[in-house]
Chain A
Amino acid sequence: MSARAGHILAGAGALAVLATLPLWGGTPYGLELGITAATFTVLSTGLNLVYGYTGLLSFAQVAFFGIGGYTSALLSHDAGWPVFAGALVGGVLALLLGLVIGYTSLRLSRHAFAIVSLSFALLCLIISRDWVSLTRGPMGVPGLIAPTLQLPGLGRIGFDRPAVFYWLMLSYAVLVVAATHRLVRSRIGRAFIAIKLNQPLAESQGIDPLRHRLLAIGVSALTSGIAGGFYVFHLTIVDPSIFDFYYTETMLIMVIVGGPGSFWGVVVASLAFTAIPDMLRFSHDLRMVLYGAILIGAMLAFPRGVGGWAAQRRLVRLRRPILA
């Protein structure tokens, strides 16, 4: 059996386990963890695309998520739009705003992008609280009604049932992971890595760093925005705490430990870091102390995360016969 077939089999097996979660772990809490894990997989895969592949540290991921959430909540609640259309518009709005902050700050430097993305997230928080006539302010928009689908042959499917919503979020996460995987393994993905590793060299090969970086930011904003657009209908409420800096910290931990630029490492870390701390019932304070310590340790010892470390080990093994 070739390695590739093995990977496909392992992937299919993992997918089968995840898809049948409602059958073997279908408690409300099991499903809740599943929904959170699927959502964070989308978010951290997006962050990995931007940070791991093009080398831009972004704090704006949570802002895209929140923008998507607010847009779809308001379109559905105030204008009576269907949820799926609202989520799509939310994603597109996040994409456009992502391009704006990316374009303005990248003209200066990568450094400016990091700080501008942070300020953008804080600005979104302020707007969600204080543009009361639009966002309802800190009271949020409660009473969001999850969509129902009328499918021929299957009858009505209500997404207010956690199991059904889990399947929706899981399918979306699988779609995003697959699409992102295709992107990073394509010619464009190789250009991303080239820009990250050596920008002047990449430019001399005719790769435009700005356009590629904007593409990465745009894709991650779109996928995160749509995720937010769905997710708030599971919570049934959207309020400014959707922009909590704590989510940014959690996403960063997933990407750093999984290994920036290591595609499957980050996906696995997203699942692990949603489930493990919750199951161990860590207090949040201690959890965040531990996350901080992990970040410090990773930066000093494993800057490329577990995934990067594994890849390094593989390279060493591959090189051994030549060196010997």
Chain B
Amino acid sequence: MRVGLSPVFAATVCALMFSATARAEDPIQIGASLPLTGTAAFFGQHSRWGAELAVAEANAAGGVLGRQIALDPQDNRCNPTEAVKSVSQMLSDKKDVAILDGLCSSAILAMMPLVERAEVPLVVANGTATAIVDKSGAGGNKWVFKVNPSDGSLADALVGYLVEHEKDKAAKIAVLGEDTDFGRGGAQALDAALGKFGMKLASSDFYQQGTPDFTAVFTKLRSEKPSMIAVYAVGADVQNIARQYVSFGVGIPFTGRLLTDLVPPEIMASGALDGSVVAQAYAPEVDTPANHAFVDAFTKKFGKPPNLLSREGYEAACVVIDAIKRAGQADPAAIRDALEKTDLTSILGAQIKFDDHHLAHDYAVILTVKGGKVVIAALNKT
């Protein structure tokens, strides 16, 4: 027993000393649970960079409430078990006044009961599952807020644009998506959006994340001749899809949520993707002064252009920092109340206000590819 208790005693003493020395000048800490390892690490890293940029900008402007802000990023491997562990750690330390992102929907869904119990706000930047919004705000969990549009609103914006401009192309869309909540959720939402116009998806194919070879499915699609291929893919898969698409001369325009910035530039420039129409929550090409400033600052700081995830991480961190400022104190409950009254202009130019389900309604960016270049076709309110 003596062996078992002495470290505990030591830890308690340490904890007491720490809390005694905590001063007002200590930074205000914001947690972030993200996949920093595993297959989704690339995205977690971008979301983290976005949040880091927001924090650095706020600190350069003199901090908040006279204090600096610190980000506390923790790995969750995109896995609910690890997400619960990382968030419990943040909640136990009692230093984080708010928690960012989660990134993967299943990780976020597992984190939600924890923040509700501990009464610390969680601001979701990237998860897209509709279940998150269903359970938030009026859905019961008053501590969860979601900045990015959900699958459904993006799909509605995409189909709305297609029906208005190229109706024949919407008639026979085939899905090629990764076998994750991103792919399956995106396909479901697209099917539902088409349903509102009396149409439906022609076919759906889901592949395991990390599958290198798409030749069979492209050969099949080439013979079935859908009007468009809706792609829901991320990371290395986008490169494999783009390259094999060109190598096998598939020649059917893309739609869905193809991440155009991950397509190798020589493929984009060759014009092979011309005629594609995709919907995203963000594109670096959007022409607003705020976005230009963001893209420049991000590229300067990290040596890489921002993508969808870096921007959502940035936006969510900005929302939290703004809420701390308005709350006037670094207290989770006060920050939550301030979050409900958020009224910010996003870098795309939309008003960020949370509805009764704590969902913000930013723009959906409709991108088209013309002459080997990505063109912003429309900014639609979601």
Contact = CB atoms under 8 A, between A and B. Distances in A.
B89 interface: yes
Contacts of B206: 129-130
Contacts of A28: 88, 91-92, 114, 118
A14 B131 contact: no
Interface residues of B, dominant DSSP: helix
Interface in A122-161: 126, 129-130, 132, 137-140, 142-143, 160
A139 B106 CA distance: 7
B84 A138 contact: no
A13 interface: yes
Interface in B64-93: 75, 77-81, 84-85, 88-89, 91-93
Contacts of A188: none
A283 B4 contact: no
Interface of B: 1, 4-5, 8, 36-38, 75, 77-81, 84-85, 88-89, 91-93, 105-106, 109-110, 113-114, 118, 129, 131, 135, 179-181, 183-185, 206, 208
Interface string A1-44: 00000000000011011000000110111111100100000000
B27 to A, nearest CB: 18
Contact of B181 (A13, A32, A139, A162): A139
B84 A32 contact: yes
21 contacts: A27-B88, A28-B92, A28-B118, A29-B89, A129-B179, A129-B208, A130-B206, A132-B184, A137-B184, A138-B106, A139-B131, A139-B185, A143-B109, A235-B80, A235-B110, A236-B109, A237-B106, A239-B80, A241-B79, A241-B81, A283-B37
Contact of B88 (A31, A139, A236): A31
A27 B92 contact: yes
Contacts of A17: 1, 4-5
Contact of A283 (B5, B36, B85): B36
Given A25-B8, A138-B179, A239 B106 contact: yes
A140 B106 contact: yes
B77 A284 contact: yes
Contact of B110 (A139, A162, A236): A236
B211 to A, nearest CB: 12
B88 A246 contact: no
Contacts of B135: 143
A24 B15 CA distance: 13
Nearest to B8: A24
A236 B180 CA distance: 19
Most chain-B CB neighbours within 10 Å: which of A25, A32, A288? Answer: A32
Contacts of B208: 126, 129
Given A29-B91, A139-B106, 8 more contacts: A24-B5, A29-B92, A32-B89, A138-B183, A142-B109, A142-B110, A160-B113, A246-B38
Contact of A138 (B38, B114, B184): B184
A244 interface: yes
Nearest to A32: B88
B312 to A, nearest CB: 20
Contacts of B129: 139
Contact of B179 (A14, A32, A130, A241): A130
Interface in A245-264: 246
A285 interface: yes
A14 B4 contact: yes
A13 B84 CA distance: 29
A208 interface: no
Contacts of A283: 36-37, 75
Contacts of B81: 36, 235, 241-242
Contact of A284 (B1, B38, B91, B180): B38
B110 A237 contact: yes
Contacts of A288: 37
A36 B85 contact: yes
Contacts of B118: 28
Nearest to A24: B8
Nearest to A28: B88
A239 B109 CA distance: 11
A235 B106 CA distance: 10
A135 B105 CA distance: 16
A246 B4 contact: no
A13 B88 CA distance: 27
A234 B85 CA distance: 12
A237 B109 contact: yes
Contact of A241 (B4, B78, B91, B114): B78
Contacts of B105: 139
A25 B8 CA distance: 8
A43 to B, nearest CB: 12
B80 A16 contact: no
Interface in A277-316: 278, 283-285, 288
A285 B179 contact: no
B178 to A, nearest CB: 9
A17 B4 CA distance: 7
A119 to B, nearest CB: 15
A234 B8 CA distance: 26
Contact of B131 (A142, A241, A278): A142
A16 B208 CA distance: 46
A92 B93 CA distance: 40
B85 A278 contact: yes
B290 to A, nearest CB: 33
A19 to B, nearest CB: 12
A182 B331 CA distance: 52
Contacts of B1: 13, 16-17
A85 to B, nearest CB: 23
B143 to A, nearest CB: 14
Contacts of A140: 80, 106, 109, 181
Contact of B106 (A29, A33, A241, A284): A241
Contact of A13 (B4, B36, B79): B4
Contacts of A31: 88
Nearest to A161: B117
Closest 8 CB pairs of A and B: A29-B92, A27-B92, A284-B37, A32-B88, A17-B4, A28-B88, A239-B106, A142-B109
Contacts of A13: 1, 4
Contacts of A234: 84
